[in-house]
Amino acid sequence: MDALTTTLSVLDYAAVAVFGASGALAAARAKHDIITFGFFAAITGVGGGTLRDLLIGAPVFWVARPEYVAVCLIAAIGVWIFGWGQGRERTLLWLDAVGMAAYAVVGALKATSLGVPLVSAVVMGVLTSTFGGVIRDVLAHQPSILLRRELYVTPALIGAAVFVGLNALGVPTMIAGLMGFIAAFTVRAGAILFGWQLPGFPGRAP
């Protein structure tokens, strides 16, 4: 296994674990049972990648490799055992930013490796890194990340676009992926630290 494949594999599992933990945290807030913890963790961790694979006609990644689901369940058990106070929730927020940035690149890379057009590959990167969170918020009856003014989808879009654009220009995959990751994480970090947001529609409702 070469260095690129190893790095991408580590990022993939790390992102699944982080998103799985965020799903379990949503269950913790509502004081659900351990089974619901596992369900929330699994659907959050693999939801985005599942949608990506279905849309591009690829085998759904976790079906043949159930260790991805196992990683989600381990994350859920960790949340159940150790709990999450305010400080740990802040830590998870940053870990989620890392997972989002990683998945934006990993999702776009898988799409381009299967010959998906560049624009569509960027969309696949965004869906991979955000859709699990959308499902989590719907199930937990929380405001969806799509409806928050704080930047979340935008960093994923920027990261995936940077990676796909650089890769199309012939930049080595490892470097393009690193630049895409940095771009996504930087914008998300700005949103967390400084409340960066896009301007809202200036018109008045009828």
Task: Examine residue 204 and state whether it is found in any structural domain, yes or no.
Answer: no
pLDDT at residue 204, as a whole number: 61
Task: Examine residue 78 and state whether it is found in any structural domain, yes or no.
Answer: yes
Please report which helix (H) or strand (E) contains residue 46, including its range.
helix 34-56
Number of domains in the chain: 1
Instruction: State what percent of residues in the chain have pLDDT above 70.
Output: 92
> What are the E-state strand segments in the chain?
none
Q: Is the pLDDT of residue 205 over 80?
A: no
Task: Examine residue 86 and state whether it is found in any structural domain, yes or no.
Answer: yes
Question: Phi and psi (nearest 5°) for 45?
Answer: -70, -40
Residues 46 and 144: their CA atoms lie apart, in Å, by 18
Q: Which residues pair with 150 in a beta bridge?
A: 197
Q: Whole-number mean pLDDT of the chain?
A: 88
Taking residues 35-43, what's their average pLDDT?
A: 95
Task: Examine residue 187 and state whether it is found in any structural domain, yes or no.
Answer: yes
Task: Examine residue 200 and state whether it is found in any structural domain, yes or no.
Answer: no
Dihedral angle sign, alpha carbons of residues 108, 110, 116, 117: positive
pLDDT at residue 58, as a whole number: 94
pLDDT digits (tens, 9 = 90+) for 113-133: 999 999 999 999 999 999 998
pLDDT digits (tens, 9 = 90+) for 53-76: 999 999 999 999 999 999 999 999
* Residue range of the domain that includes 127: 3-194
pLDDT digits (tens, 9 = 90+) for 128-173: 999 998 888 888 888 777 777 778 899 999 999 999 999 999 999 9
Task: Examine residue 206 and state whether it is found in any structural domain, yes or no.
Answer: no
Helix, strand, coil tally for the chain in percent (to 5): 80, 0, 20
Task: Examine residue 116 and state whether it is found in any structural domain, yes or no.
Answer: yes
